[in-house]
């Protein structure tokens, strides 16, 4: 359950500095550090990954079913569906060719509102499903979902897998920030790992502006990790909305 007066998408320290994901710099030492820049604030636009250029198209398809059961007329109740689609393509040296992604994702929550106070509870957690093409041919996909944590925590972990050209990697959300004692509820980044648990890639999704990311140097791992990481940088996270 989430209680909020104002919903925010950026977690900040001191009002202006984004929280950095714990462990990011360690992973960066093993791969290539690249910034994804120019992410459009609107639904369509162009972006850059180092020297590679891409285009994104996003559509929000959600709906709200609202009613008032309170006899005093003070409590507004609703079921809110956050569903969206994402399509992107990126080409250049960093991508090792042309990668295209087509995704659908969403979550559903119940809301009670009393004046400025909102109380929300997840009915159907986030699910993200993508299909990818490489140089015009079908190459694989990604599936990511919010799961129940194995122990008591405020974090809402997301785990999944990405597979591209026979290379299969795991994807997991990061909730621990540098200098913070407790995990955060929302994801501030993601880590991509091999089957043996070795981290090979990462992205920070907290704050606004450019995204810091790490991609592996091995060609096979690189394309699979990059497809997942670019997707996670571009999609409108419905977990950020109430």
pLDDT tens track for 74-107: 667 788 888 899 999 999 988 889 999 999 999 8
Residue 112 is predicted with a pLDDT of 79
pLDDT band at 40 (very low <50, low <70, confident <90, very high): very high
Residue 10 is predicted with a pLDDT of 44
Q: Give the rounded percent of residues in the chain with a pLDDT score beyond 70.
A: 86
Residue 240 is predicted with a pLDDT of 56
Q: Give the rounded percent of residues in the chain with a pLDDT score beyond 90.
A: 52
Residue 121 is predicted with a pLDDT of 77
140: CB partners within 8 A, 6+ apart: 131, 132, 162, 163, 164, 165, 224, 227
Residue 75 is predicted with a pLDDT of 67
Question: What stretches of 165-210 adopt beta strand conformation (E)?
Answer: 167-174, 189-193, 199-204
Look at the alpha carbons of 14, 214, 36, 42 in this order and tell me if their dihedral is positive or negative: negative
Rg, C-alpha atoms of the chain: 18
Which of 54, 111, 75 lies closest to 241, judged by CA?
111
Task: Using the predicted structure, report yes or no on whether residue 48 has a pLDDT greater than 90.
Answer: yes
pLDDT digits (tens, 9 = 90+) for 199-230: 999 999 987 788 999 999 988 899 999 999 99
Mean model confidence pLDDT for the chain = 85
pTM of the model: 0.84
Residue 123 is predicted with a pLDDT of 81
Would you state the structure tokens that stand for residue 213, as one six-digit string? 């990311």
- The residue range of the domain holding 21 is 2-240
Query: DSSP string covering 103-114, please?
Result: EEEEEEEEEEEE
pLDDT band at 197 (very low <50, low <70, confident <90, very high): very high
**Number of domain units in the chain:** 1
């Amino acid at each position: 359950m989430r209680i909020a007066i104002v919903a925010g998408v950026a977690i900040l320290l001191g009002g202006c500095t984004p929280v950095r994901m714990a462990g990011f710099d360690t992973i960066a030492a093993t791969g290539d550090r690249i910034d994804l820049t120019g992410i459009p604030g609107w639904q369509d636009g162009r972006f850059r990954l180092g020297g590679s250029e891409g285009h994104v198209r996003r559509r929000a398809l959600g709906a709200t079913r609202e009613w008032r059961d309170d006899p005093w007329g003070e409590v507004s109740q609703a079921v809110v569906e956050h569903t969206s689609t994402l399509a992107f393509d990126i080409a250049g040296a960093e991508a090792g060719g042309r990668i295209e992604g087509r995704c659908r994702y969403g979550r559903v929550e119940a809301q009670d509102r009393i004046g400025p106070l909102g109380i929300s509870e997840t009915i159907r957690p986030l699910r993200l499903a993508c299909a990818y093409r490489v140089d015009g041919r079908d190459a694989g996909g990604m599936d990511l979902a919010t799961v129940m944590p194995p122990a008591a925590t405020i974090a809402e972990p997301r785990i999944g897998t990405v597979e591209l050209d026979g290379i299969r990697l795991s994807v997991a959300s990061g909730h621990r920030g540098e200098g913070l004692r407790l995990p955060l509820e929302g994801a501030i980044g993601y880590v991509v790992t091999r089957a043996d648990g070795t981290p090979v890639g990462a992205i920070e999704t907290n704050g606004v502006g450019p995204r810091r990311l790490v991609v592996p140097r091995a060609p096979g791992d690189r394309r699979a990790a990059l497809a997942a990481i670019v997707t996670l940088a571009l999609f409108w996270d419905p977990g950020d909305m109430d």
